[in-house]
Structure 1
Amino acid sequence: MFMTTLSAEESDPFCLPVQSTRWLTGAPWRRFATMGDSLAAGTHGPSPGYANMGWCDRLAGLLRRVHPDLAYLNTAVIGATTADTLAGQLGPVLGFGPDLLHVSCGANDLWRRDPDLPATGRALRRLFGRAAATGATLTTFTLGRAFVVPRFPDWHDRVRALNDVIRALAAEHGAVLADMWDHPVNDRPGLVSADGVHFSAAGQAVLAAELVKGLALRI
């Protein structure tokens, strides 16, 4: 009798939803785009036992199992602010004509000594409004609490304020929201990559799973 050893990803209860295409059977989306910062780009480091992929490439791969002709555009840029996304990414995304559109940005706006949170909120409102006007199904994330910037003692307060804006905009525009602030994955060792900033591949797998679960409810 032979024993099969599951990989870390296969045995991860937060990742199992993305192991089966049944979650996305009947998915209508054929043009998937993502815009924003490194979170939207799926920037990550490796995790033993997990596929070395960002959440967005994972999701695109799953959607391609349903629609092999899926068109996929990722304009996200590491370090992009909300203003950068509006100025440099919105146009190409609108020209692409997505029917599924992910928006994640705002975190880099918080890195300033004195961030202008009201201005960030206004820019996010414009961005989500333009995204919603495409008619695409929108998706987004809140930021998790695992990442901390020691030089900003009020970092978590900043993130909470940004997350409140994201939650409100997601509700207003009917976006699929993966609320990561207090997700149990935040308590895992090794969640953050060696760069100290981005989720590792293990975290990316969880991000993808949360979106898959949310999207499955829209089919």
Structure 2
Amino acid sequence: MAPEYAQTLESLDPHCLADGEAVRLLARHRWRRFAVLGDSVAEGLTEPVDGYHPLAFPDRVRAELAVVRPELAYVNLGQRNLRVAEVHATQLSPALAFAPDLAMVICGANDAMRPGYEARADAVDAGLTAIIRPLQRAGAEVVTVSLFVMPVYPSLPSWLGPAFSRRMALLGRRLAALSLELGTIHVDLANHPAIGDDDVLAGSLTGSDGLHGNGRSHAIAAAEVVRRLARAI
């Protein structure tokens, strides 16, 4: 963590990386080329929170990996509003051309957020598989992420429907199952204990749009990815 973030809210937050933790956990990591594919979360859409690191979690993970290997090459292909099929169509080829040995795939939420996802879930899983398998065959270890699922999303428009949380939870469960089938390095944030935090330190996990994660949730996500990567070393 950068020195200016020492003794800030992040350093006191039990869900975030402690000072020096990432370096210790990743000290022997083997990755040299890191690619990120996906939607707005992969792109890094976030909202700053005082006292927390400003980087979105994919870029934060890159920064922590690069502390150990400064030569780490990195590309983030994430783009907001994309569904799984669009990520496959626009990002898989450039990702393969980059030849990563580590790739993080973060998408599916734009499919799941819309009513009728339950009927499309098998097709979404197939689309995710069509992204993950080629990356694995090309030599990349693939990280998948089930996103935080909030109990309610009061700021969201009514067209998303009252079952939004249920659909996002279903996506999280299906991603976890798919990760077992495909052998990905999976980070499951869907039931993270920070979702239930109600103290002053914790605050909200979402930004002003009521949907995307804020600086605190990105700091927590970065911590969970780093800790999960450490178990894969």
Whole-angstrom distance in 2 between the partners of 1:193 and 1:124: 27
Structure 2 counterpart of 1:154, one-letter code: A
Tell me which residue corresponds to 2:216: 202
Stretches of 4+ moved more than 4 A in 1?
none
Whole-angstrom distance in 2 between the partners of 1:16 and 1:178: 15
The structural deviation recorded for 1:18 is 6.7
The aligned length equals: 215
RMSD between aligned alpha carbons? Answer: 1.7
Tell me which residue corresponds to 1:44: 46
Does the aligned pair in 1 maintain the 2:83–2:109 contact within 8 Å? yes
Q: 1:176 aligns with which of 163, 185, 189?
A: 185
Whole-angstrom distance in 2 between the partners of 1:19 and 1:56: 19
Q: 1:55 to 1:77 in 2, by over 3 A?
A: same
Q: 2:145 aligns with which of 141, 147, 162?
A: 141
Tell me which residue corresponds to 1:6: 7
Tell me which residue corresponds to 1:15: 16
Q: 1:161 to 1:19 in 2, by over 3 A?
A: same
Quick check: 15-24 or 47-56, which moved more? 15-24
Q: Tell me the TM-score normalized by structure 2.
A: 0.86
Whole-angstrom distance in 1 between the partners of 2:45 and 2:107: 13
Q: Tell me the TM-score normalized by structure 1.
A: 0.91
Does the aligned pair in 1 maintain the 2:205–2:216 contact within 8 Å? yes
The structural deviation recorded for 1:17 is 4.6
SS in 1 for 2:128: helix
Tell me which residue corresponds to 1:191: 205
Whole-angstrom distance in 2 between the partners of 1:193 and 1:163: 20
* Cα-to-partner distance string for 1:36-89 (whole Å, 9 max, x where unaligned): 111222210011101111001111111111111110000000111001100000
Does the aligned pair in 2 maintain the 1:17–1:23 contact within 8 Å? no
Structure 1 counterpart of 2:176, one-letter code: R
Structure 2 counterpart of 1:107, one-letter code: A
Whole-angstrom distance in 2 between the partners of 1:36 and 1:17: 28
Quick check: 17-26 or 205-214, which moved more? 17-26
Does the aligned pair in 2 maintain the 1:81–1:107 contact within 8 Å? yes
SS in 1 for 2:36: strand
Tell me which residue corresponds to 1:101: 103
For structure 1, the residue ranges without an aligned partner over 5 or more in a row are none
Q: 1:18 to 1:161 in 2, by over 3 A?
A: farther
* Cα-to-partner distance string for 1:162-209 (whole Å, 9 max, x where unaligned): 222211221122222111111012234321011222111111011010
Structure 1 counterpart of 2:213, one-letter code: F
Does the aligned pair in 2 maintain the 1:18–1:208 contact within 8 Å? no
